[in-house]
């Protein structure tokens, strides 16, 4: 990966002769239980991307995202879908002006409104910008089966076994103990103003079953999948 924040404008111009592909990582400032850092989504996707052995541009991560069920939990800093769409549009359009043509919007946060905003702006931009290729996805959507098979917990999700395992692998000093197993008890199909009364601990799964080894396997699975996608988009 060519980490943009570490290169000069002259180096940027040089690398532009070799690749027209840029990866934009998206994360959140969001609660991840009482044991994981607020930057969990950002940390996982950015560190995984830095492990990808492809000579394409890697932009600095966007640290804020659209959080719905967690927006009232302590520590979460939420932005609106409109803000995310506007920011993503500006980033892609200005990168296009600089000569880039292939765009990967990869999110470490898989929230439905968050992902919808990234996909909606991608649909608009492919109509507007001549000759681009663009993809917007979360590895969790593409690798749900593979990552689920690594977990001993059925229905593992937010701040649970796999996310805790990945942080243990990437930055174990940031894991503050292990929260208890928990699952949200939100009365479906009703939308709630404040979800904290149905999901006090902000955990979905069993963090106590997490391990360094599971985290290592999960990150490798994500890195391999992203490598394949970059190879495909970078062909032309």
Domain boundaries along the sequence of the chain = 2-233
Assigned superfamily of 2-233: Creatininase (3.40.50.10310)
Tens place of pLDDT for every residue, the chain, 236 residues?
Answer: 999 999 999 999 999 999 999 999 999 999 999 999 999 999 999 999 999 999 999 999 999 999 999 999 999 999 999 999 999 999 999 999 999 999 999 999 999 999 999 999 999 999 999 999 999 999 999 999 999 999 999 999 999 999 999 999 999 999 999 999 999 998 988 888 899 999 999 999 999 999 999 999 999 999 999 999 999 998 76
Q: What is the DSSP-derived secondary structure letter of residue 78? A: B
Which residues, in sequence order, are CB contacts of 137 under 8 Å at separation 6+?
Answer: 105, 106, 107, 115, 229
Sort 53 into a burial class: Cβ within 10 Å, 0-12 / 13-18 / 19+: exposed
Distances in Å between the Cα of 184 and the Cα atoms of 27, 75, 163, 181, 202 are 22, 18, 17, 11, 8
Q: CA–CA separation, 186 vs 209, rounded Å?
A: 24
- Does the bond joining 189 to the residue before it have cis omega, within 30 degrees of 0? yes
């Amino acid at each position: 990966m060519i980490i943009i924040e570490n290169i000069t404008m002259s180096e940027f111009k040089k690398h532009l002769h070799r690749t027209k592909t840029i990866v934009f990582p998206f994360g959140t400032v969001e609660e991840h239980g009482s044991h994981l850092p607020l930057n969990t989504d950002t940390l996982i996707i950015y560190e995984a991307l830095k492990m990808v052995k492809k000579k394409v541009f890697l932009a600095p991560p966007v640290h804020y995202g659209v959080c719905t069920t967690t927006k009232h939990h302590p520590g979460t800093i939420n932005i609106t879908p409109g803000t995310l769409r506007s920011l993503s549009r500006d980033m892609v359009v200005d990168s296009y002006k600089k000569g880039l043509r292939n765009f990967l919007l990869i999110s470490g946060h898989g929230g439905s409104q968050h992902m919808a905003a990234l996909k909606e702006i991608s649909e608009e931009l492919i109509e507007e910008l001549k000759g681009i290729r663009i993809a917007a996805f979360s590895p969790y959507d593409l690798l749900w089966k593979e990552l689920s098979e690594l977990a001993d917990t059925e229905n593992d999700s937010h701040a649970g076994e796999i996310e805790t395992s990945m942080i243990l692998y990437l930055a174990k000093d940031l894991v503050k103990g292990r929260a208890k197993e928990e699952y949200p008890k939100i009365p479906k199909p009703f939308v709630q103003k404040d979800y904290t009364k149905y999901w006090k601990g902000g955990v979905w799964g069993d963090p106590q079953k997490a391990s360094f080894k599971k985290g290592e396997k999960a990150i490798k699975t994500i890195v391999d999948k992203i490598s394949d996608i970059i190879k495909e988009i970078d062909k032309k």
